[in-house]
Structure 1
């Protein structure tokens, strides 16, 4: 669960003193977004997670250097970015765009990285909102958009009527649309489903 900014500021003294609970709060706050961010550069979630965990180790080794949540966030993103770019320089890249990143000038590279940071935080925000849905709505939402199941297949698996499944899906989307635009949701579903498909080879549903 993501913490409110004021709560993060309140635990800075504990973080500086090396309190594991304070560290855990910052881990939960940024970990998922950082993994999304690194994966967009590397196209390898396992490697992305390793890099992000290493960034947190470096953060912990310098825990008494930080006096504000924003400085912690900046350190984590900068450290993760640098590690990803270093990885791309020394590893065999999978896609042409990854090689192109390395040849961008400083401003273009910074702009590209910033776009990925914004996208990653959007991903984390929407995931957090999905977690606020009722359990059944979450289940229907994930089965339809991530697992790629049809509505009648979901109804059969959950032993629900087709009408009830449609209602859960519609209400889940309505709740998400209270906070996010259709464009943001479509982008989220595209990225999230692509990540899921890498390991599950599922079809992609469009949002409707």
Structure 2
């Protein structure tokens, strides 16, 4: 999988080429995803996306749906490519995870607005709150969604501090889900690579 900085139909693999590539490299992509996954408390997981994770997602969708026509390929790119960080931010898929169906229903009602209370705090700087669900609203008056897409925008000084090794916290200050943790060093090193 060649990283180019921009996902286009021309630089995606054909279904046949991807099938061969996948057999050899699926484990590497899963390890990359795991490295970029941060569990916040018991029920919130943030999967920080990258060009690698999004290319893989698009290729998987094309494979599963057997999409090979230009229009379908373009549609998948338009759905997922906005989740690739652009050098000034981190983007993540945020999942609210409760195994018990009744507990999930109850908690999704209590956690309305949780996506807007997610933050990243770079050592020495103010908190950066998530910009959530830019593609469509994922909550209503009764409940929030179990999946949100969030973006954290950093100033040039924050980006420089992260790249220089500053500690970074991930947190949530929602009334019903107060939690924070320091992003583990290995994960932070991977995320720092997203910044310019």
TM (normalized to structure 2)?
0.33
Which protein has greater RCO, CA pairs closer than 8 Å, 6+ apart? 2
Structure number with higher strand proportion: 2
Query: Which has more helix, going by share of residues?
Result: 1
Give TM-score scaled by structure 1 length: 0.32
